[in-house]
Structure 1
Amino acid sequence: MRTIVCEHPDKLYMTETTPPGLTPGEALVRIRRIGICGTDMHAFKGNQPFFEYPRILGHELSGVIEHVGENAAGLSAGDQVAVIPYIACGECIACRGGKTNCCMSMQVLGVHRDGGMREVMSVPVSQLIGTNGLTLDQSAVVEPLAIGAHAVRRSELKNGEYALVIGGGPIGLGVMAFAKDRGAKVIAMDINEERLQFCRGWAGADYTVNALDNPREKLAALTGGEFPTVVFDATGSVRSMTDSFSYVAHGGKLIYVGLVRADITFNDPEFHKREMTLMGSRNATPEDFDTVLAAVRSGAIDVDRYITHRAPFDEMIEHFEIWLKPESKVIKAMVEL
């Protein structure tokens, strides 16, 4: 079967590999859609933490079950599915507390173990969600949107609060959409004006702020000098994640949704006087996937406009490096098999 491997940073190649056999407790899934994520791009450029080469990338996946044994989920051959790519141990302190998204022994498909850039893969049935009735595109973007849903749920954002979302990429857009669903007044921040307009049109952001144009002054003006009570940073940028401390209201929260391979520092007196809460938000839980599925089924999430670029599997490698460039204006790229 055709398989794309990231051999080392800046090197993807197509090869033929042996199709997997059916393993008890797992299903053989024919992959039909692969969403391209910032994680894939960071891995390609050698900037992804917790990563080893060579690796088959791809964790935003949808497909159709080819073979599966009896299972409690009631899934059968021919069912369309989305993949939950976070494989947890089920036994550590995080898992026992229901926080499978930050398992101590987390194995993420496409990061810690081989992912879905191949025609067929074997996936634990517990990691599959039936998505009959949705499109393959809708099924493939459930995972990145679930990351945004999880961050918003973790923040305990309330109706009427000002929520600043820094980063107008696919994860930040998901945060904005679910923050709006909670009744927040959403401020989108990015360095790209076209992205900011997309945040208004797609996610319904109430206000936009260019991070290169006196952002603290603009935020103060929008909030009556009090600043947003909840700030989400979805950039993966050291500078942005450092600067975001100064955008939080007294008594407010800062949630890091993005990940960067670096240390972040902050001024402790400023942090202390605000009695600020700093939170990490990692991956998502089944509850968050359910939230996204309901939003997609209701039509509240417009997947057609969220996906801006496409390529067939055979042409993905040549498109991949183009998608890395800011001038390509990618929001979400989708690979089709």
Structure 2
Amino acid sequence: MAITSIGETAFTTVETPNLGPQDVLLEVGCVGLCGSDLNTYRGLNPLATLPRIPGHEIGGTIVQYGQDVPVKCAPGAKAIVIPYTACKQCSACRTGRPNACKFNETLGVQRDGGMASQLVVPYDRLILNDQLSLHEQALVEPLSVGFHAVQRGTVTQHDTVVVLGAGMIGVGAVVGALARGARVIVVEISDAKKATLRNLGVQDIINPLTESLSDRVAALTDGHGADVVIEAVGLPETFRSAVDLACFGGRVVYVGYAKSEVSYNTSLFNLKELDIMGSRNATRTDFEAVIDHLQATPGLSQKIISRVFSWDDAAKAFPFWEANRQDIFKVMIDMQGNGHD
């Protein structure tokens, strides 16, 4: 299914790409929809051109493989897709950070993605796993982005972490920080998400529309502020709040990105001697950490997945999400079975 124009989708027929010697043909089992897919649908994604087949949160089954692919990638093997490319030549790639490749192209964004019955990908972009369900497979990538932000912030069990925004990437950061034993405070304007956040283990949730964010964080941290602030909203005001809420000697991680310029009073950068970091995509290590966590935490996916559409009903997914944006964590398309609420 392709996004054909702004606010419009359609089922289309495309030719299956030729299978190169290091490629596999994957039968797609389940695809999660990301905020970037929704922005493409809404005409707000500057990285995507239309028409575009969306979807980079992908799990499936190998059905065919090229002549240079290892035998472990045999037909029938279950796999999770790492949807980013890496040029192996830019400064990020050369220093072991291919997730930040200068020339990255992500499936479903700069190139067609996984909302198709079959997909051809290089075998080194797969993680084989036969333990996770189809839905859990498609949950790995978005959680990995949050886990990567937690890794960038070097979060430990001794930290108090403020996560700004409880969209799916923010939830990944919440789950990742909790998995490390940190105390997590979530800032989220949607009251509809509170019950799920508490079920994940979050005790303190702040709605900045109804209470003072700075006062509440100060009260919860004995006046010090947060050891780590992870920004997962992408608004100028939340970019500034991250700096304000961090403690002296604290760390700020930006995983959201603002669509307009952000102005700061930069004195706090120096006075607090903050470590301020960007966070982009995720590494294979992040993917593996999420897989381990999902396998060790039965039932986690059911708490996070808001709605699953069948392949036949895939065209309903974007309108549903757009109409219920404040209530939704994750929308998925099950290519093999039936959808459910």
3-state SS of 1:16 partner: coil
Cα displacement (A) at 1:324: 1.4
Corresponding residue of 2:240: 242
Please state if 1:37 is matched with 2:31.
no
Corresponding residue of 2:202: 205
Conserved 8 A contact 1:59-1:109:
yes
CA distance in 2, matches of 1:49, 1:101: 20
Given candidates 277, 280, 290, the residue that maps to 1:279 is: 277
**Which whole-Å deviations, capped at 9, do the CAs of 1:94-130 have from their partners, x for residues lacking one?**
1111100000111111111111111111111110111
3-state SS of 1:191 partner: coil
Corresponding residue of 1:220: 218
Conserved 8 A contact 2:155-2:180:
yes
CA distance in 2, matches of 1:116, 1:183: 34
Conserved 8 A contact 2:196-2:304:
no
Corresponding residue of 1:264: 262
CA distance in 1, matches of 2:219, 2:46: 37
3-state SS of 2:202 partner: coil
Which amino acid in 2 is paired with 1:185?
R
Corresponding residue of 2:62: 65
Which amino acid in 2 is paired with 1:41?
L
Which amino acid in 1 is paired with 2:315?
I
Which amino acid in 2 is paired with 1:311?
F
3-state SS of 1:254 partner: strand
1:1-337 aligned at under 5 Å gives the runs 4-69=1-66, 70-72=68-70, 74-202=72-200, 204-212=201-209, 213-299=211-297, 302-326=300-324, 329-337=327-335
Cα displacement (A) at 1:236: 2.5
The number of aligned residues is 333
Which amino acid in 2 is paired with 1:147?
V
3-state SS of 1:86 partner: coil
CA distance in 2, matches of 1:323, 1:299: 27
CA distance in 1, matches of 2:165, 2:297: 24
Cα displacement (A) at 1:262: 2.0
CA distance in 2, matches of 1:328, 1:269: 35
Conserved 8 A contact 1:189-1:196:
no
% identical aligned pairs: 32
Which amino acid in 2 is paired with 1:56?
I
In 2 relative to 1, CA 328–158 (structure 1 residues): closer, same or farther, beyond 3 Å? closer
3-state SS of 2:61 partner: strand
Structure 1's unaligned 5+ residue stretches are none
CA distance in 2, matches of 1:328, 1:157: 28
Which range moved further: 101-110 or 250-259?
Answer: 250-259
Conserved 8 A contact 2:317-2:331:
no
Conserved 8 A contact 2:7-2:41:
yes
Conserved 8 A contact 2:236-2:263:
no
Which range moved further: 20-29 or 214-223?
Answer: 20-29
Cα displacement (A) at 1:276: 1.6
**Which whole-Å deviations, capped at 9, do the CAs of 1:158-214 have from their partners, x for residues lacking one?**
222110011112111111111112221110110012213321212x11311112121
CA distance in 2, matches of 1:261, 1:12: 25
Conserved 8 A contact 2:61-2:75:
yes
Cα displacement (A) at 1:88: 0.6
**Which whole-Å deviations, capped at 9, do the CAs of 1:257-281 have from their partners, x for residues lacking one?**
1123222221112332111222110
CA distance in 2, matches of 1:43, 1:238: 21
**Which whole-Å deviations, capped at 9, do the CAs of 1:237-294 have from their partners, x for residues lacking one?**
3332233221111111111111232222211123321112221100001111111111
3-state SS of 1:15 partner: coil
3-state SS of 2:261 partner: coil
CA distance in 2, matches of 1:234, 1:39: 13
CA distance in 2, matches of 1:15, 1:50: 22
CA distance in 2, matches of 1:126, 1:9: 33
Cα displacement (A) at 1:19: 2.7
Cα displacement (A) at 1:318: 2.1
CA distance in 1, matches of 2:250, 2:299: 28
